[in-house]
C-alpha cells in the first residue's frame, strides 16, 4: 500500500515539478510570478486531445508515434503562445510597479480560461485514445506504462534543463541576467531575448506536462490550469522560488504528500494537507528548502 502510494505520488509530483520550473525560471529572471502559467498547461492538455484525435482519426501513425507528434506540435504551439504572452502582457509593463504585471498575469489567465470554455465547452473532454492497462505488477504494487512514461519524461526534462542552464551559453546568459540585468546588458547580453527564451522554455515544459496528464487521466476541463498552477506555485515556493533544483524537489515532495494524505487521511483533505505542511516548512525556513535568505536593503 505504501509503495503504491509512493509511485502515485512520484507520478503526480513529476508533473508538479515540470510546471513549477516555469514559475521559478520566470521569477529568477524577472522576479515576477506568472500566474498565467497554469493556463499554458491547460492549453497543452486541450491541444493534446485535439491533435491526438486528429492523428487517430486520420491514421497518420500508430498510437505511440501519434502521441509523440502530439507532444511536439503542442509544445511548438505553446512555445509561440508563451513568446507572444511575454511580448504583449509583460514586456510593456517591465518598468511599471510590481502590481501591474501581476494584474496583467491574472487577466491573461482569466481570458484564456474563458476562451477555452467558450470554444471547447464547459464539460469534460475525453482523451481520444486509451493506452490500455499494460502494467508492471509486483505483489500488490501496480505501475502502468503511462506512469513510467510520465516519470521518465519528467526526469529527462528536469535533467536536460539543469544541464542547459549550467552548461550552455544561453544558460549562462540566463544566470547572469537573473543576477543583474543592467550588468548583463553592459557585457553584451540581449536581456529581452533571454527573457523571451525563459518564457518559451517554461511554456514548452507546461505543454508537455498537459499532454501527459491528459493521456494519464483521460479527462480534461478548462479549470485544470488553475488547480495545477496553484499546486505548482506551492511546489516552487516549497523548494525555494527561483531555484531550479528547489522546484524539482518541491514538486516531488508535494506530490508525495498529496498521495499519502489521500491514502491515509482522506482524499477530501489532500489539498489542505499539502498547504498545511507547506506553512509549517515556511515557518521554519521562509525562503524554502533551497532558497536563500536575502537581507532587506534599507
Kindly report the CATH number that applies to the domain delimited by 2-284: 1.10.3470
544561453: which residue's cell? Answer: 170
The domain locations on the chain are: 2-284
Give me the residue label for grid cell 521569477. Answer: 27
pTM recorded for the entire structure: 0.89
- What is the structure's pLDDT at 81? 92
pLDDT in tens, 17-33: 999 998 888 888 888 88
pLDDT band at 44 (very low <50, low <70, confident <90, very high): very high
Question: pLDDT category, 200, cuts 50, 70, 90?
Answer: very high
Residues 145-174: pLDDT tens digits? 888 888 999 999 989 998 999 899 999 999
Residue 83's pLDDT is 94
User: What's the rounded mean pLDDT across residues 30-59?
Assistant: 88
Dihedral pair phi/psi, residue 135, rounded to 5°: -150, 155
pLDDT of residue 132: 58
Beta bridge partners, 229, equal: none
Amino acid at each position: 500500500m505504501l509503495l503504491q502510494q509512493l509511485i502515485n505520488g512520484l507520478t503526480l509530483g513529476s508533473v508538479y515539478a515540470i510546471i513549477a520550473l516555469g514559475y521559478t525560471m520566470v521569477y529568477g529572471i524577472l522576479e515576477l510570478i506568472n500566474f498565467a502559467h497554469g493556463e499554458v498547461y491547460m492549453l497543452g492538455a486541450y491541444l493534446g486531445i485535439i491533435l491526438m484525435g486528429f492523428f487517430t482519426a486520420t491514421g497518420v501513425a500508430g498510437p505511440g508515434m501519434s502521441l509523440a507528434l502530439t507532444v511536439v506540435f503542442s509544445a511548438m504551439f505553446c512555445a509561440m503562445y508563451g513568446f507572444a504572452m511575454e511580448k504583449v502582457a509583460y514586456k510593456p509593463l517591465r518598468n511599471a510597479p510590481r502590481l501591474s504585471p501581476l494584474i496583467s498575469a491574472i487577466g491573461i489567465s482569466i481570458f484564456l480560461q474563458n476562451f477555452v470554455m467558450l470554444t471547447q465547452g464547459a464539460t469534460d473532454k475525453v482523451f481520444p485514445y486509451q493506452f490500455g492497462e499494460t502494467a508492471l505488477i509486483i505483489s500488490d504494487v501496480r505501475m502502468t506504462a503511462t506512469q513510467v512514461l510520465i516519470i521518465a519524461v519528467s526526469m529527462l526534462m528536469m535533467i536536460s534543463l539543469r544541464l542547459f542552464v549550467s552548461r550552455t551559453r544561453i544558460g549562462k546568459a540566463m544566470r547572469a541576467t537573473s543576477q543583474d540585468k543592467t550588468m548583463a546588458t553592459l557585457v553584451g547580453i540581449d536581456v529581452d531575448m533571454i527573457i523571451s527564451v525563459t518564457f518559451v522554455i517554461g511554456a514548452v515544459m507546461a505543454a508537455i506536462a498537459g499532454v501527459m496528464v491528459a493521456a494519464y487521466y483521460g479527462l480534461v476541463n478548462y479549470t485544470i490550469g488553475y488547480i495545477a498552477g496553484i499546486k505548482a506555485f506551492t511546489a516552487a515556493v516549497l523548494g525555494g522560488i527561483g531555484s531550479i533544483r528547489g522546484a524539482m524537489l518541491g514538486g516531488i515532495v508535494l506530490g508525495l504528500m498529496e498521495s499519502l494524505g489521500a491514502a491515509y487521511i482522506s482524499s477530501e483533505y489532500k489539498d489542505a494537507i499539502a498547504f498545511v505542511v507547506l506553512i509549517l516548512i515556511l515557518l521554519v525556513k521562509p525562503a524554502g528548502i533551497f532558497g536563500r535568505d536575502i537581507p532587506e536593503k534599507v
